[in-house]
Amino acid sequence: MSSAEVVHPVTLRCSFCDTKNRVDMSRAAHRPACGGCSKPMLLDRPVTVTQDDFDATVLGASVPVLVDFYADWCGPCKMVAPLMDEIAQAAFRVLQFSKNSYSNDWPFADTILQPWGFPINM
């Protein structure tokens, strides 16, 4: 295996410039930089995922993904948010943490998950 080979690739959107980056999670501790703006990819906190990113970022990830579906108006979601941040910070080397804002406009969330309450973590 060459040193440039990507072992655990995930596709993540840069939180600074929205550029999609292919990041090797096995090198997450080395703080990889965004290919668009050169700022560090913030892997030790939840990554916001949209409907457009879901397939590539969540379903296409080569590492386990914890997805937090939340709603801004949800009181229990706000109560567990600090815990979700702690999990993301503690497990970022082995886990990708995605945070998804629930929306009625998101067919996946409505038809597949059929949410009965929030937050939903899967």
Cα–Cα nearest to 44, from 55, 30, 58: 30
CA dihedral over 34, 67, 80, 118, signed as positive or negative: positive
Of the candidate residues 10, 12, 13, 14, the single one contacting Zn ion (CB under 5 A): 14
Stretch of 15-23, 71-79, 100-108, 113-121 lying at the interface with Zn ion (CB under 5 A): 15-23
The smaller minimum CB distance to Zn ion, of residues 16 and 106, is found at 16
Q: Residue 47: count other Cβ atoms within 10 Å of its Cβ.
A: 24
Does 36 bind Zn ion (CB under 5 A)? Our answer is yes
19 binds Zn ion (CB under 5 A): yes
Of 14 and 28, which has the nearer Cβ to Zn ion?
Answer: 14
22 binds Zn ion (CB under 5 A): no
Antiparallel, parallel or unpaired: β 65-70 and 96-101: parallel
Contact status: 17 vs Zn ion (CB under 5 A): yes
By three-state DSSP, how is residue 107 classified?
helix
Q: Shortest approach of Zn ion to residue 43 CB, angstroms?
A: 13
Q: Is 37 in the site for Zn ion (CB under 5 A)?
A: yes
Distance between CA atoms of 77 and 27, rounded to whole angstroms?
31
Residue 93, both tokens: 């080397």
Task: List active site positions.
Answer: 74, 77
Query: Would you tell me which residues interact with Zn ion (CB under 5 A)?
Result: 14, 16-17, 19, 34, 36-37
